[in-house]
Amino acid sequence: MQNENLLAALEQQRANYQALLMETRANQLLDQPAAAELLDRWREQTQGDLKVVSDKAKELAASAKSAIERNIKFIVKEYAEYYLLYATEEGDDSRPPEVFEEYAAIIRKKRRYLVETTLAEYREKSARALREVEDTFRAKFVGRLVGKLDAVRSKISQLNMTLAKHPFHGELYTFKHASNPEFKHIIDFAKACNSQAAQEVGGLFDPATNDPDNPHRKALDDITAALQDPKAAELLQDYRNFLVFDVEMRDLEGNRTANLGHRIQKGSGGENQTPFYVAIGASLAAAYRLKEEYGKHRGGISLSLFDEAFSKLSVATCHSCIEFLQNIQLQLVVAAPDEKYATMAEVMDTIIWVTREGGVVSVEVVQIKPAMRSMLRADNPYRLSTGAGKYIYEPELQAPSLQASELLAAVP
């Protein structure tokens, strides 16, 4: 009889536990997979000792109950403050609830309202703002960068076409450009943004930015970092930093003779300067937009000022330099000391002497006509030894052989 009563009590206890289990499983706040995983872990740790598992469960339940009580107090306090601040503004004239279940119901209702209305509206606005930011970024940074780099390449191509027609001291100069290795990944990203597959590239705020397999991740990271670093931003805003330049020299047969770095390292003082005069001349021609079309030169006054230039150049190189600048249709004004008169007279049309004695300044103008230039060149030892003089063309000089008296008469 006693055993039957004990068995009945155990059966009742089992039924109570079963009912509690069903009630717990029906609770929407229960994470059943996590609970099952925890139970399996406890069984493994205790080797199936249900008494130990039960004690662990009671201990965890007590801790959870204490946490729930603390959270309830916090929620009630926060909701009371919220009610005092915003209830009138929201048109809520009801009194605060008295039990937590009513608090929970109200909070769930407000949360659902926010998710379905206000947050949805802000989500749409955020997505629209993101698209606008990306469009602005692509237009102002990417588009501007690609446009500037294309303009540089086009300008260099035009300069090289001009230089190809005008040898300098027996050499043809060509400007070279290439992507700066330090910024090549950003150039590749900018090109991809301007391609037909631009939408697949990703943007600054796309989740794809964090993809380790994204080929443009480093570019996106560097651009994002530049938005917070003024110095880095300044580097990215100057398109000139994205390219590296060089000057290549070839002989008249097209054989490569040197580049800028080699010439600076191996050449003499004058030879070191010649590439820079070519660069200066080509840059001025580009600034004046000088062009040669159908055998005719087009451009403006193309005035170019040089103060004591060509000082380290030999006479021959100085003449080659000035004639090169004149050939690309630059009009030169050169300030030089007295001892350069003999050198400059061969290649200048007008020489103005400026002399100061005390407070008196006198000016004398000497015009060098073609006949005089021809005579000076005929006496130039360099031109006599190399035959360079015979290639100088003076359109105003009609008689190929003039007497010295006639030449002197040509000087005013």
List phi, psi (to 5°) of 114. -65, -45
351: helix, coil or strand? strand
Mean pLDDT by runs of 10 across the 412 residues of the chain is: 76 82 79 84 84 86 87 81 71 66 77 77 78 70 84 86 82 90 87 66 55 76 79 84 89 87 70 80 81 66 85 81 86 88 85 89 89 78 55 42 37 38
Question: Measured between alpha carbons, how far is 284 from 298 in angstroms, rounded to an integer?
Answer: 14
Point out which residues pair with 243 in neighbouring strands.
Answer: 179
Pairing between β-strand 291-293 and β-strand 296-298 as defined by DSSP bridges: antiparallel
Q: Is 41 exposed, middle or buried (0-12, 13-18, 19+ CB in 10 A)?
A: exposed
Helices 217-226 and 184-193 sit at what angle, rounded to 10 degrees? 100
Question: Measured between alpha carbons, how far is 63 from 2 in angstroms, rounded to an integer?
Answer: 38
Question: Measured between alpha carbons, how far is 38 from 25 in angstroms, rounded to an integer?
Answer: 15
What is the reported pLDDT for 404? 36
Q: What ranges in 114-143 are assigned the alpha helix state H?
A: 119-137
Interacting residues of 372 by C-beta distance below 8 A, sequence separation 6+? 345, 407, 410, 411
Point out which residues pair with 292 in neighbouring strands.
Answer: 297
Six-digit token pair at 243?
């390219």
Question: Measured between alpha carbons, how far is 186 from 177 in angstroms, rounded to an integer?
Answer: 17
Question: Measured between alpha carbons, how far is 305 from 286 in angstroms, rounded to an integer?
Answer: 16
Point out which residues pair with 305 in neighbouring strands.
Answer: 333
Point out which residues pair with 216 in neighbouring strands.
Answer: none
Tokens 């009889």 belong to 1
CA 399 to each of CA 84, 125, 175, 271, 394: distance values in angstroms, whole numbers, following the listed order: 108, 84, 40, 36, 11
Question: Measured between alpha carbons, how far is 182 from 173 in angstroms, rounded to an integer?
Answer: 27
Cβ(162)–Cβ(171) below 8 Å: no
Q: Max alpha carbon distance in the chain (Å)?
A: 158
